[in-house]
C-alpha cells in the first residue's frame, strides 16, 4: 500500500495528530462534540485547517436526524469563514460510520405526515431533498474537504465521502452501498456521484445492486480513495499534512480550482473552458499571483507567503 508520508516524517506527523486530538478535547471537557453541536467535534490542528470529527462513537457514528442538520449548519459556516482554508473530516471511535441511524430516522421515512397520498409524498420528498443537502453542502463548500475513513463506511457514509474532494483510508477500511439490503435505493448521492468517482459503471452497478463490501485495496485500485495508510493515526497525520499544504496556497487559487473542477465535471469541455475564462478574467488580478511568483523565483515554500484572508 502507498502512504502519503515518508518514514522520516512519521514521528513528526504522529505528534501533529496527537496535538490535533488535544485540540478537540480542549473544545469540550468530555472530549466529545463541540457546542453548539452534539454530533460533531471541531478543532484546528494547523493554521487555516479545520478538523471536523463525526462524534457518536457509542452509536458507531450512525447518522441521526441531528447529524443531518448540524452538517449543513457547520459547513455553511465554514464556507464563509476566512480562517478556514481546508477541512479534514473523520469519524471518532472504531468505525467511520455505520450509516443511517434507522431507529432514529424511522418516523421521518415511515410517517411523513399528510392527509392523503399526494401530501404524504410531498412531505417525504421535502425530507429527502433536505437529507441530500447534508452532503451537497460538502461539495458546494469552496474549501477543499479531505475525508479520512477507517473501519467501516456503510450506506450513507458512501454518499458522504463521494461528495468530498480527497478520500483517504486505512488498510482495514471497507465500504458498502448498503441500501438495497434495507429495502430502498440510495437517495442522497451515491448513485449520482459514485459513477463519476470510480468511472466503471459495471463496478458501481455491482456494488449498488449486491451490497457487497469493497475493501481498501480495491477502493484504491478503482479510484474511490487516493491513498491507503497502515492505521488511523498515520492516516490522520497524512490528512492534516495534506490539508495544511492546501491551506498554505493562495485561497483565491485553491477555492477557484475546486469550483472549476466541479463545474467541469458536470459540463462539456467547451462550456468549462468558457466558464474558466470568465472566472480568471477577474481572479488573475489578485495580488496572490505576484506573491506566489515571487516566492517561486526565490525558491521559497508557499508556507512562507502571507496571503490575505478571503
Q: Which H helix or E strand runs over 256? A: helix 251-266
Report domain 251-304's class. mainly alpha
**Taking the CA of residue 260 as centre, how many other CA atoms within 13 Å lie in the half-sphere pointing to its CB?**
19
Q: What is the pLDDT of residues 34-85, one digit of tens each?
A: 999 999 999 999 999 999 999 999 999 999 999 999 999 999 999 999 999 9
3-state secondary structure of 145: strand
167/161 Cα distance (integer angstroms): 7
Report domain 40-247's class. alpha beta
Using pLDDT thresholds of 50, 70 and 90, give the confidence band for residue 25.
Answer: very low
Domain with CATH 1.10.12.10 in the chain: 251-304
Average pLDDT over residues 15-36: 58
Show which residues are catalytic: 100, 156, 159, 179, 187
Whether the CB-CB separation of 120 and 112 falls below 8 Å is answered with yes
Using pLDDT thresholds of 50, 70 and 90, give the confidence band for residue 104.
Answer: confident
**Taking the CA of residue 161 as centre, how many other CA atoms within 13 Å lie in the half-sphere pointing to its CB?**
31
Q: What is the pLDDT of residues 170-187, one digit of tens each?
A: 999 999 999 999 888 999
Whether the CB-CB separation of 51 and 90 falls below 8 Å is answered with yes
Average pLDDT over residues 257-282: 97
CA-CA-CA-CA torsion for 197, 203, 209, 211, nearest 10 degrees?
Answer: -80
52/89 Cα distance (integer angstroms): 5
Predicted local confidence at residue 173, as pLDDT: 98
Using pLDDT thresholds of 50, 70 and 90, give the confidence band for residue 106.
Answer: confident
pLDDT at 13 over 60: no
Long-range contacts of 250-253 (CB under 8 A, 24+ apart): 250/286, 250/288, 250/289, 250/291, 250/292, 250/305, 250/307, 251/85, 251/288, 251/307, 251/309, 251/310, 252/283, 252/286, 252/288, 252/307, 252/310, 253/288, 253/292
Pick the residue with more confidence: 25 or 39? 39
Domain with CATH 3.90.226.10 in the chain: 40-247
Task: Choose among 241, 168, 173: nearest CA to 19.
Answer: 241
Predicted local confidence at residue 111, as pLDDT: 73
**pTM of the full predicted structure?**
0.88
Task: Provide the percentage of residues in the chain whose pLDDT is more than 70.
Answer: 89
CA-CA-CA-CA torsion for 186, 106, 60, 149, nearest 10 degrees?
Answer: 20
Predicted local confidence at residue 9, as pLDDT: 53
Predicted local confidence at residue 125, as pLDDT: 92
255/249 Cα distance (integer angstroms): 10
Task: Choose among 198, 210, 200, 148: nearest CA to 173.
Answer: 148
Task: Choose among 209, 216, 138: nearest CA to 175.
Answer: 216
Q: What is the pLDDT of residues 217-267, one digit of tens each?
A: 999 999 999 999 999 999 999 999 999 999 999 999 999 999 999 999 999
Task: State the average pLDDT for the chain.
Answer: 90
Dig out the grid coordinates for 103 from the structure. Answer: 431507529
Q: What is the pLDDT of residues 188-221, one digit of tens each?
A: 999 999 999 998 999 999 999 999 999 999 999 9
Predicted local confidence at residue 214, as pLDDT: 98
CA-CA-CA-CA torsion for 10, 11, 12, 17, nearest 10 degrees?
Answer: 90
Predicted local confidence at residue 2, as pLDDT: 45
Amino acid at each position: 500500500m502507498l502512504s502519503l508520508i515518508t518514514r522520516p516524517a512519521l514521528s513528526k506527523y504522529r505528534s501533529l495528530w496527537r496535538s490535533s486530538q488535544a485540540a478537540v478535547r480542549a473544545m469540550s471537557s468530555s472530549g466529545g462534540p463541540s457546542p453548539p453541536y452534539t454530533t460533531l467535534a471541531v478543532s484546528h490542528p494547523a493554521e487555516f485547517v479545520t478538523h471536523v470529527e463525526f462524534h457518536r462513537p457509542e452509536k458507531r457514528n450512525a447518522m441521526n436526524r441531528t447529524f443531518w442538520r448540524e452538517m449543513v449548519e457547520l459547513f455553511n459556516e465554514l464556507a464563509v469563514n476566512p480562517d478556514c482554508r481546508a477541512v479534514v473530516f473523520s469519524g471518532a471511535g472504531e468505525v467511520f460510520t455505520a450509516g443511517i441511524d434507522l431507529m432514529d430516522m424511522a418516523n421521518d421515512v415511515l410517517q411523513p405526515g399528510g392527509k392523503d397520498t399526494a401530501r404524504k409524498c410531498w412531505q417525504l420528498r421535502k425530507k429527502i431533498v433536505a437529507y441530500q443537502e447534508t452532503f451537497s453542502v460538502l461539495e458546494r463548500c469552496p474549501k477543499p474537504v479531505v475525508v479520512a475513513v477507517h473501519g467501516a463506511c456503510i450506506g450513507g457514509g458512501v454518499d458522504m465521502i463521494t461528495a468530498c474532494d480527497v478520500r483517504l483510508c486505512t488498510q482495514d477500511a471497507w465500504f458498502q452501498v448498503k441500501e438495497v439490503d434495507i429495502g430502498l435505493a440510495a437517495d442522497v448521492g451515491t448513485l449520482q456521484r459514485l459513477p463519476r468517482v470510480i468511472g466503471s459503471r459495471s463496478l458501481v452497478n455491482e456494488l449498488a445492486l449486491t451490497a457487497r463490501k469493497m475493501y481498501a485495496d480495491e477502493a484504491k485500485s478503482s479510484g474511490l480513495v487516493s491513498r491507503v495508510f497502515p492505521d488511523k493515526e498515520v492516516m490522520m497525520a497524512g490528512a492534516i499534512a495534506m490539508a495544511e499544504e492546501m491551506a498554505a496556497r493562495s485561497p483565491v487559487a485553491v477555492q477557484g480550482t475546486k469550483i472549476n473542477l466541479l463545474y467541469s465535471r458536470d459540463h462539456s469541455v467547451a462550456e468549462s473552458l468558457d466558464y474558466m475564462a470568465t472566472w480568471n478574467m477577474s481572479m488573475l488580478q489578485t495580488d496572490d499571483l505576484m506573491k506566489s511568483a515571487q516566492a517561486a523565483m526565490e525558491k521559497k515554500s508557499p508556507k512562507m507567503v502571507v496571503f490575505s484572508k478571503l
